[in-house]
Chain A
Amino acid sequence: DAMVIQNPRYQVTQFGKPVTLSCSQTLNHNVMYWYQQKSSQAPKLLFHYYDKDFNNEADTPDNFQSRRPNTSFCFLDIRSPGLGDAAMYLCATSPPGTGVQPQHFGDGTRLSIL
């Protein structure tokens, strides 16, 4: 089945130690998104790619970076994680189309900071 896969499902890192989360998709969608979701809150968009075009949300901290080496893969790098970065990180994809198309989500990576 075509899907969005996030690895790992759970990640523990130390305060200030860089961490990378990964996302892959077999849907061949050209739009990919990264969201941060804290407990009992709405998913908050960090950035998205339209093909190779990177779009950063205005309030996304500089501590968060992303790479998309090809259509299938996208990475979220947190350069110096703080305690406030503990959250679920969700990757999603969507096809192009008029207006916003339905998004397909992975099951997320839950990040804990020690």
Chain B
Amino acid sequence: SQQGEEDPQALSIQEGENATMNCSYKTSINNLQWYRQNSGRGLVHLILIRSNEREKHSGRLRVTLDTSKKSSSLLITASRAADTASYFCATGDSGYSTLTFGKGTMLLVSP
């Protein structure tokens, strides 16, 4: 299975702190994507990193990818209460049009 595995399963921090979530996967990938899901809502795409990239930034988000370790991390800096959500990594194979989602990390940011 290509399924990613995030850790931790749950993370609780204070506003202003940084949050780091990790994702591991099993086979070769074309790209890895991170999504956010607010409670009771659909998923929102955050960032895509290709297999030949090592790091990518988008606003307060920083994603790293280590293909030798088959792992990725998502760092949210200066977190806000509005960042409270579940975060999923998803991997895509080259030539396919489908993603396989990991189990997610539930992030709680307290004011």
Contact = CB atoms under 8 A, between A and B. Distances in A.
Contacts of A104: 45
Interface of B: 3, 30-31, 33, 40-45, 48, 50, 88, 92-104, 106
Interface residues of A, number: 29
- Give me the 10 closest cross-chain CB pairs, A-B, nearest first: A100-B92, A105-B42, A99-B30, A42-B101, A102-B45, A105-B43, A107-B42, A42-B103, A43-B101, A107-B41
A38 B93 CA distance: 24
Contacts of A4: 42
Interface of A: 4, 6, 31, 33, 40-45, 48, 50, 55, 90, 92, 94, 96, 98-108, 110
Nearest to B94: A99
Contacts of A92: 42-43
